[in-house]
Amino acid sequence: MKSLERGTVAETRALVASGGASAVEICRAYLDRVRAVDPRVQAFRTVLEAEALAAAGRVDRDRQAGRPLGPLAGVPLAIKDVLCTRGANTTCGSRILEGFVPSYDATCVARLRQAGAVLLGKTNMDEFAMGSSTENSAYEKTRNPWDPNRVPGGSSGGSAAAVAADEAAAALGTDTGGSIRQPAALCGVPGMKPTYGRVSRYGLVAFASSLDQVGPFGRTVEDVARVLQVIAGHDPKDATSASLPVPDYAAALPRGASGLRVGVPREYFPRGMDREVDGAVRAALRAAERLGARVGEISLPHTEYAIPTYYIVATAEASSNLARYDGVRYGLRAAGSEDLASLYVRTRRAGFGAEVKRRIMLGTYVLSAGYYDAYYLKAQKVRTLIRRDFEKAFEQVDAIVTPTTPTAAFRFGEKVDDPLSMYLSDIFTVTINLAGLPAISIPCGLTKDRLPIGLQIVGRRFDEETIFRLAAALEAELKFRDNRPAVAGDR
Amino acid sequence: MAIGKSEVRHIARLANLDFSDEEYDRFTHQLNAILEYVAQLDRLDTSAIEATSHAGSETGPLREDAAGGSISQEEALRNAPEPGRGHFKVPRVIG
């Protein structure tokens, strides 16, 4: 039998339910794994050892007492540090929230607890989810489990790395412009951004409210589906959460790819594209055809405008959302300020990192008097054009397949001082947030340097099921999981 | 250049931020590079296009105006850097 910390979500829950292993034993196996590899990976900001063991103990007592077990009973998970966890430090990767302890759980976190999940800890991230490498964290430098000299992607780099390194069975991240899918691709694990409104944003510390969405990482597509099943659904505490019923995602998995119409947008395979990424994605498309999907080229003509549109919309919303950090109610307060105005400025100057300040500045500029129409309103109109591109495409196809990222994982420091080049690593993912669509990234191959390559599958609004069908079929065909990251070493 | 250093200083004041002189130079340079890049949106004629302000449903949902649970004053103040007499203390506001 494989070791306790390698089982899928369903296997782990079944093991707990049958008494094959206790939730506490499984929790200890994961905590041992975190102790063994996290000094090298640095995926976790905070490990909640005592709380995790207590939660696992409650699951074991429920089982012994014959009480019904939740769908994630005894499954150890990691949570991105941008999601509020009652009683546990939530920093958003920022100095300005150092020591902040929320008095409530995010709805998605509360639902995980209610489902019997064991929360192992909080994972590292780019400050306020702004970044694509996790290098913008004010704290640790998270390393890619496939190559310690390379970034894990971001902003949910800690969650992606934790799952890739077997430090958690699954994890939650958030995705505003690719922050789940891009690190999932770079770390070689599946990760999904659900449809905007599918998962409650209550308790998610806001970056760009019209784009932010919570979603899962797992070691398998099925694991992603099982975690999404628990966190999805209407929440009266989030006025933008959809009141639609949540389908049975696991039931969609075995339906296969046969008969699906798959569109391949030519704009996502530009000239001069990385040959290894191009080759791996095209090989996966041939696999989809073998599985009975009908693959054809489509066009999303406004793709080239997505990055400029995104950086106007996202920074405008961020500059407004981040106005709340003022040193008064929570978080950092700069000492020795003589009046309130200087308290604000000194606190924000000391508490925010360079990228966050850069985005607040850009967002403030595009919203400022005289520039609103030229930038923010213009970007919102182009957003409509981008959304319509997808609506039109989905009249002809059931799913769209693209590379998740232009390249595999890059090296530390390679892009951190060049904001535009960093922004371009989200070129294939931001369109999906602008259109509010669901999308998954699954690993589809390795480069010759043994770095994972990600493939993105996009679906219609609230049609995560079709994505799961195609993703599960491709996963079984491509057998990526036979590969193990460098950090595994021991196996 | 779309914006000069004095305008960057003005934006910083609006955003309750401040920088060193060297940082102002760097931000001015970087913001100009980003603004130059986003100017490509001007190539599109959007005069007849509606703005998308949200990716979700277009109508806001309604619910009964019923009071729900809340947190206590003590809990609300637990994260305050300087609580005092049931309040958030701040330095002088009016000079």
HEC assignment per residue over A223-289: HHHHHHHHHECCCCCCCCCCCCCCCCHHHHHHHCCCCCEEEEEHHHCCCCCCHHHHHHHHHHHHHHH
Range of the domain at A447: 6-263+395-488
DSSP secondary structure code for residue A35 in this structure: H
Residue A182: which of A125, A261, A250 has the closest Cα?
A125
| Interface check B50 vs A, CB under 8 A | yes
Catalytic residues of A: 80, 155, 179
| Mean per-residue pLDDT over chain B, rounded | 90
Average pLDDT over residues A193-208: 98
Query: Does pLDDT of A424 surpass 90?
Result: no
In a domain, A21, yes or no: yes
- How far apart are the CA of A221 and the nearest CA of chain B, in angstroms? 25
| Interface check B38 vs A, CB under 8 A | yes
The CATH number given to whatever domain includes residue A64 is 3.90.1300.10
Average pLDDT over residues A464-488: 95
Number of separate domains in chain A = 1
- How far apart are the CA of B56 and the nearest CA of chain A, in angstroms? 6
| Interface check B2 vs A, CB under 8 A | no
Query: Does pLDDT of A254 surpass 90?
Result: yes
Domain residue ranges of chain B, discontinuous segments joined by +: 5-41
Kindly report the number of other CB atoms within 10 A of residue A247's CB atom: 15
Distance separating alpha carbons of residues A197 and A187, to the nearest angstrom: 26
Kindly report the number of other CB atoms within 10 A of residue A379's CB atom: 26
| Interface check B16 vs A, CB under 8 A | yes
> Comparing A468-477, B29-38, B41-50, B57-66, which segment has the lowest mean pLDDT?
B57-66
Distance separating alpha carbons of residues B12 and A360, to the nearest angstrom: 9
Query: Does pLDDT of A281 surpass 60?
Result: yes
| Interface check A406 vs B, CB under 8 A | no
A–B CB contacts, 8 A cutoff, strictly below: 160
Burial A399-431 (b: 16+ CB within 10 A, else e): bbbbbbbbbbbbebeebbeebeebbbbbbbbbb
- How far apart are the CA of A35 and the nearest CA of chain B, in angstroms? 30
Q: What is the pLDDT of residues A286-309, one digit of tens each?
A: 999 999 999 999 999 999 999 999
**Nearest residue of chain B to residue A437 (CA atoms):** B55
Give the right CATH number for B5-41 from 1.10.287, 1.10.860, 1.10.20, 1.10.3470. 1.10.20
> Comparing A95-104, A224-233, A412-421, which segment has the lowest mean pLDDT?
A412-421
Asked if the Cβ–Cβ distance from A381 to B19 is below 8 Å, we say no
Asked if the Cβ–Cβ distance from A382 to B41 is below 8 Å, we say yes
Strand partners, A402: A456
In a domain, A321, yes or no: no
Asked if the Cβ–Cβ distance from A239 to B61 is below 8 Å, we say yes
| Residues of chain B with C-beta less than 8 angstroms from the C-beta of A420 | 33-34, 37
Q: What is the per-residue pLDDT for A417?
A: 77
| Residues of chain B with C-beta less than 8 angstroms from the C-beta of A308 | 37-41
| Residues of chain B with C-beta less than 8 angstroms from the C-beta of A329 | 79-80, 88
Distance separating alpha carbons of residues A85 and A101, to the nearest angstrom: 8
Residue A198: which of A436, A441, A455 has the closest Cα?
A436
Q: What is the pLDDT of residues A320-364, one digit of tens each?
A: 999 999 999 999 999 989 999 999 999 999 999 999 999 999 999
Q: What is the ipTM of this complex?
A: 0.95
Query: Does pLDDT of A1 surpass 60?
Result: no
CB A85 within 8 A of CB A152: no
| Interface check B86 vs A, CB under 8 A | no
In a domain, A322, yes or no: no
In a domain, A378, yes or no: no
Read off the pLDDT band of A491 (50, 70, 90): very low
Query: Does pLDDT of A488 surpass 80?
Result: no
Q: Which residue has the tokens 């999904």?
A: A192
